[in-house]
Homo-oligomer: A and B are copies of this chain.
Amino acid sequence: MDTTTLRDEPQSEHDADERDERDDAPAESARRRRTRARLLDAAFEVFAEQGVRAASVETIVERAGFTRGAFYSNFSSKEELFFALMEREKEMRLEQLDTGVAQFLRPLVGEEGAELGDEDVVRTVTRILELQSDDPRWWLVQAEFRLLALRDHTIAADYLRYQDEFFADLTQTVVAALTSARRRFTIAPEEAVRVIAELCANGEARAVLSGDERTFPERLSESVPAILLALTERV
* Interface residue ranges, A against B (CB under 8 Å): 51, 139-140, 143-144, 146-147, 149-151, 156-157, 159-160, 163, 186-188, 191, 194-195, 198-199, 202, 205-206, 208-211, 223, 226-227, 230-231
Least CB distance, A140 to chain B, in whole angstroms: 5
Number of copies: 2
Measured CB to CB, the closest approach of chain B to A156, in angstroms, equals 5
A207 to chain B minimum Cβ distance, whole angstroms, is 10
A139 engages B150 (CB within 8 Å): yes
Query: Among the listed B143, B226, B227, B231, which residue makes an inter-chain contact with A150, where contact means beta carbons less than 8 Å apart?
Result: B143
A210 and chain B: residue at smallest CB distance: B160
Contact assessment for A226 and B143 in the assembled complex, using a CB-CB cutoff below 8 Å: no
- Distance in angstroms from A150 CB to nearest chain B CB is 5
Tell me the bound Cα distance from A86 to B224 in angstroms: 28
Instruction: Decide: B146 and A150 in contact? CB cutoff 8 A.
Output: no
Closest residue to A197 on the B side, CB-wise? Answer: B202
> Which residue from chain B places its CB closest to the CB of A194 in the assembled complex?
B202
